């Protein structure tokens, strides 16, 4: 127990590159958006000052319009594609030009609430509050200008669940042609059988080319993107983040800001309700180009519980769905419904267990009045990490480790689970 917590702390320290943490050495040599939010919460369990620093360094990458990029390229590295030259932005430090699920407000709130150094925590939170508010305004303005209650995600990388089968149908519309020459580096570090396929990568880069051609202008990107989905994960995390931001605004913001945030919460609550799939008993993504719902259940489909956005009956039904999944695998929560033909135990987001998603699902299950299932998800997560170490992800059928070793966000989650 102590060993595993020591190892988790050592992993975070080892991946520290000077105030920001790389997800893992080599495979991911920069600062990633939602990884860092979880990492900050992990650091907060033993080094509060370092936790704030992680958030501040991520915000160095924030754009003037409020976007918090998916990647901040603090220092050059040859180990990753597509690097800053492909994105071609003028921001300093260089960044990518898409985003990731906004876990930052929940993370900042938690770092604040668990702080023992109250003076420092108050001051550092006060300093970053405007950046968080600006980011949530960006989501509304850039990704839901028509106020539908469902923000659009324009790239599978923005969902953080790159090759989830929830995107298969929508991605089929994206051409495999690129102007950028694709020079993958991930397959050099990791067994290709565990990574997205070659054609997935062509499509990922087609989208990047398309957005660069749109000058990274939010309205032009939204109009031009051949991939536009309402991702249950992103929509749920944003709704949760708005509630945390509302709590923060009561301490650090104004009455007008509170009203503005409450207004977005009401809008997003109505939006997320439309993603409920009555037949499957889980929330599912929607294609915003043709309105078609996704047809496969994924672990993101439980995240509306983390957003506190379920009716009592939906809480009960989604817990029953998860219990059904548990009959098919040894460990929870597989990233894809293990009864679905799309389930692949080792391929990245098409089956493996990801500790960060488990942590959010467990939080949601507690809220939903399902403490036993929440405890099961936490216990499984701890067992996987304690047995194999803080790997990138795990095979739900046998618990075997996969992807990259010594992964920061997995270590952070181990610390959060105590």
Q: Which residues are catalytic?
A: 162, 392
**Sole window of 32-40, 42-50, 74-82, 123-131 interacting with ligand GLC (rule: CB under 6 A):** 32-40
Q: How far apart are CA 141 and CA 145, in angstroms?
A: 5
Phi and psi angles of residue 213, each rounded to the nearest 5 degrees, phi first? -60, -30
By CB under 6 A, the residues from 34 to 63 that bind ligand GLC are 34-35
| Minimum CB distance to ligand GLC smaller for 343 or for 367 | 343
Q: Is 162 in the site for ligand GLC (CB under 6 A)?
A: yes
Contacts of 326 by beta carbon, 8 Å cutoff, 6+ apart: 332, 376
Is residue 28 part of the contact set for ligand GLC (CB under 6 A)? yes
Q: Which is nearer to ligand GLC, 34 or 63 (CB)?
A: 34
Nearer to ligand GLC, 103 or 368 (CB): 103
Is residue 301 near ligand GLC by the rule CB under 6 A?
A: no
Total of chain residues touching ligand GLC, rule CB under 6 A: 7
Contact flag: residue 167 with ligand GLC (CB under 6 A) = no
Q: Is the dihedral of CA 398, 403, 406, 410 positive or negative?
A: negative
- CA dist 94 → 63, 71, 83, 85, 271 (Å): 10, 9, 9, 9, 34
DSSP 8-state class, residue 95: B
Nearer of residues 319 and 357 to ligand GLC, judged by Cβ: 357
| Piece in contact with ligand GLC (CB under 6 A), picked from 31-39, 91-99, 169-177, 221-229 | 31-39
Told to check if 393 binds ligand GLC by CB under 6 A, we report: no
- State the first-to-last Cα distance of the chain, in angstroms, to the nearest integer: 9
* Between 332 and 357, CB nearer to ligand GLC: 357
Nearest distance, CB of residue 27 and ligand GLC, angstroms:
8
Residue in the structure block whose two tokens are 């032009």: 220
Structure tokens at 176: 């495999």
| Shortest reach from residue 261's CB to ligand GLC, in Å | 26
Distance CA 362, CA 408 (A): 20
Angstrom distance (rounded) from CA 391 to CA 303? 22
- Specify which residues 282 forms β-bridges with: 277
Subset of 102-161 contacting ligand GLC (CB under 6 A) = 160
Q: Which of 9, 11, 16, 23 binds ligand GLC (CB under 6 A)?
A: 23
Of the residues 20, 30, 32, 331, which one makes contact with ligand GLC according to CB under 6 A:
32
Task: Report the nearest approach of ligand GLC to the CB of residue 262 (Å).
Answer: 30
* CA–CA dist 407, 393 (Å, integer): 9
Euclidean distance between CA atoms 32 and 70, whole angstroms: 6
Residues found near ligand GLC in the complex (CB under 6 A): 23, 28, 32, 34-35, 160, 162
């Amino acid at each position: 127990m102590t060993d595993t917590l020591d190892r988790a702390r050592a992993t975070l320290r080892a991946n520290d590159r000077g105030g920001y943490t790389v997800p893992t050495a080599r495979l991911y040599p920069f600062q990633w958006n939602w990884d860092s939010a979880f990492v900050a919460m992990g650091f907060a369990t033993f080094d509060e000052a370092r936790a704030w620093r992680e958030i501040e360094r991520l915000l160095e990458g924030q754009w003037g319009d409020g976007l918090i990029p998916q990647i901040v390229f603090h220092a050059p590295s040859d180990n990753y594609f597509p690097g800053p030259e492909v994105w071609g932005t003028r921001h300093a430090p260089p960044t990518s030009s898409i985003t990731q699920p906004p876990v930052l407000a929940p993370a900042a709130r938690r770092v604040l609430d668990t702080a023992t150094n109250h003076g420092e925590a108050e001051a550092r939170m006060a300093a970053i509050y405007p950046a968080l508010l600006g980011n949530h305004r960006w989501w509304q303005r850039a990704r839901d200008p028509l106020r539908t209650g469902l923000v659009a995600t324009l790239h599978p990388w923005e969902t953080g669940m790159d090759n989830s089968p929830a995107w298969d149908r929508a991605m089929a519309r994206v051409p495999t042609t690129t102007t950028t020459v694709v020079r993958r580096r991930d397959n050099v570090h990791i067994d290709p059988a565990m990574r997205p396929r070659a054609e997935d990568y062509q499509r990922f880069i087609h989208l990047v080319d398309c957005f660069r051609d749109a000058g990274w202008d939010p309205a032009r990107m939204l109009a031009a993107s051949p991939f536009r989905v309402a991702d249950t994960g992103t929509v749920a995390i944003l709704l949760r983040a708005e509630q945390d931001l509302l709590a923060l605004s009561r301490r650090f913001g104004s009455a007008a800001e509170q009203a503005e945030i409450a207004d977005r919460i009401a809008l997003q609550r109505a939006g997320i309700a439309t993603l409920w799939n009555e037949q499957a008993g889980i929330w599912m993504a929607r294609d915003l180009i043709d309105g078609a719902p996704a047809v496969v259940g994924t672990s993101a489909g439980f995240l509306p519980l983390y957003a506190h956005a379920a009716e009592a009956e939906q809480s009960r039904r989604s817990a029953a769905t998860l219990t059904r999944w548990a009959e098919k695998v040894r460990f929870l929560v597989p990233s894809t419904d293990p009864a679905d033909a799309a389930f692949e135990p080792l391929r990245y987001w098409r089956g493996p267990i990801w500790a960060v998603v488990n942590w959010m699902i467990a939080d949601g299950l507690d809220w939903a009045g399902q403490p036993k299932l929440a405890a099961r998800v936490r216990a499984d997560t701890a067992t996987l990490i304690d047995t194999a170490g803080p790997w990138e992800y795990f095979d739900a059928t046998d618990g075997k480790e996969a992807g990259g070793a010594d992964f920061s966000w997995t270590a952070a989650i181990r610390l959060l689970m105590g």
